[in-house]
Amino acid sequence: MNATFKRTQHGAWTNYRVLKSAFNKAVNWGYITDNPLKRIQLPKIAVSSP
């Protein structure tokens, strides 16, 4: 995640959201007991001015 975030911030956020959603679905289906991405927070994306 850190390497992707350094290269492209929005790409890292997209990957993070997809993986977090997949792990949440796995928790709902009973495949795993805890979502490991709950403890990980990416740095905030800088807001660009128009």
Confidence at residue 49, expressed as pLDDT on a 0 to 100 scale: 80
Distance CA 39, CA 50 (A): 33
The answer to the question of residue 48 being in a domain is: no
The answer to the question of residue 47 being in a domain is: no
Q: How many domains does the chain have?
A: 1
Confidence at residue 34, expressed as pLDDT on a 0 to 100 scale: 95
The answer to the question of residue 25 being in a domain is: yes
The answer to the question of residue 49 being in a domain is: no
Q: Which of 35, 42, 47 is nearest to 15 (CA)?
A: 42
The answer to the question of residue 19 being in a domain is: yes
Q: Tell me, what amino acid is at 47?
A: V
The answer to the question of residue 32 being in a domain is: yes
- For residue 26, give its domain range: 2-39
pTM listed for this prediction: 0.73
Q: Tell me, what amino acid is at 49?
A: S
Both tokens of residue 36? 């490991």
Residues near 23 by Cβ (< 8 Å), separated by ≥ 6? 32, 35, 36, 37
Question: Tens digits of per-residue pLDDT, 1-47?
Answer: 778 777 888 888 888 889 999 999 999 999 999 999 988 887 777 78
